Amino acid sequence: DSLKNAFKNKFYIGTAMSLPQIDGTDVQSDDIIRKQFSSIVAENCMKSMFIQPQEGKFFFGDADKFVAFGEKNKMFIIGHTLIWHSQLPKWFFVDKDGKDVSPEILKQRMKSHISTLVGRYKGRVKGWDVVNEAIMEDGTYRKSKFYEILGEEFIPLAFQYAQEADPNAELYYNDYNEWFPEKVKTVTKIVNNLKSRGIRIDGVGMQTHVGLDNPKLDEYEKAITDYAAAGVKVNVTEMEISALPSPWGTSANVSDKVEYEAKMNPYTKGLPENVQKEWENRYLDFFRLFIKHQDKIRRVTLWGVTDNQSWKNDFPVKGRTDYPLLFDRNDQAKPIVQKIIDLT
């Protein structure tokens, strides 16, 4: 059996695709994707720094292949991401002298970026992460260039441009640490504001980059119900469960570099059985929650297929050996895959 069969009548189950998967050189994980997943999102190749590295110079090659892969395999294709402060080329917000552009120019550039991308894949990419990571954990707006130049209006504008370019595509606001109460409040305010102005927003993306302890399941569940109560679908957009300690969570007085590295990268030769168990239970807790709230959830997407391709090996600390995903370093399904299927 497969994940996509198991969840067929509940929600889409997806994965991010990296370049070797998109260009077909990673044959084994392409097989896994075809067999197990009903939705895909590009991990990097649709981000502004890759798709429009210079003004007006678009590089669509990888994104075209990504969309073709999804169509060929009848998948629900997601575009990631249109407006984000990170992996953003500098030309976007400066003029020839390197000074910040005017609000009018920035609006034009946003509109041209969004309508070119969304327009190119109109009717084929079914949902877009329109704005990514614009709100801080305390509920204030991130002081990004978009915010500094346009204020809060950059968000409604981005959604409006996307809606104009493909009126049928689902449009999402996407963020991490998405369970922090003040962030939930501001994001639901944004949802309400867009809706009251007749601007399309279909979902909130809960990235779900989580660890063994953080967040508590009830905080996370409250975010699901709060977002749904605002009248949008919840999309779990970038899920993985890191098995490693988070540097933010260590109180350790690790002044010594060697000691710190050992503490931060403890499982280079495999996960000990007890940690493995804890990690599995954590996945099962989350999937039980998703099933419980299946009426609110449109999609659950994992941020990659196999452990060796996960960005978590290099984030938030570089060069670690993490075990966050459902398939191991030899392209084999971990026992958790069957255990998740058995929940359905």
Q: How many other C-beta atoms lie within 10 A of the C-beta of residue 36?
A: 23
Element (H, E) at 17: strand 12-17
**CB of residue 25 vs ligand XIL: minimum separation in angstroms?**
16
Active site residue 133: yes
Residue 87 vs 281, nearer CB to ligand XIL: 87
**Residues binding ligand XIL (CB under 6 A):** 43-44, 132, 176, 207, 238, 311
State the minimum distance, in angstroms, from the CB of residue 63 to ligand XIL: 14
Q: How far, in Å, CA of 159 to CA of 20, rounded?
A: 31
In the bound state with ligand XIL, the residue whose beta carbon lies nearer, of 81 and 160, is: 81
User: How many Å apart are CA 206 and CA 209, to the nearest integer?
Assistant: 9
Question: In terms of DSSP bridges, do strands 209-210 and 233-241 run parallel, antiparallel, or are they unpaired?
Answer: parallel
Q: Which entry of 43, 170, 178, 238 is annotated as an active-site residue?
A: 238
- Per-residue DSSP letters for 192-204? HHHHHTT----EE
3-state SS, residue 322 = coil
Specify the residue, 91 or 176, whose C-beta has the smaller distance to ligand XIL: 176
Closer CB to ligand XIL, 43 or 166, in the complex: 43
Q: Which is nearer to ligand XIL, 101 or 240 (CB)?
A: 240
Q: How far is the CB of 322 from ligand XIL (least distance, A)?
A: 12
What contacts 24+ positions apart, CB below 8 Å, involve 244-250? 244/211, 244/312, 244/320, 244/322, 246/211, 246/214, 246/316, 247/316, 247/317, 248/316, 249/211, 249/213, 249/214
Q: Give the residue nearest to ligand XIL (CB).
A: 311
Burial call 69-101: b when 16+ CB within 10 Å, e when fewer: bbeeeebbbbbbbbbbbeebbebbbeeeeeeeb
Out of 133, 170, 178, 240, which one is annotated catalytic? 133
Minimum separation from the CB atom of position 246 to ligand XIL (A): 14
Is residue 182 among the annotated active site residues? no
Least Å distance, CB 238 to ligand XIL, is 6
The residues that are catalytic are 133, 238
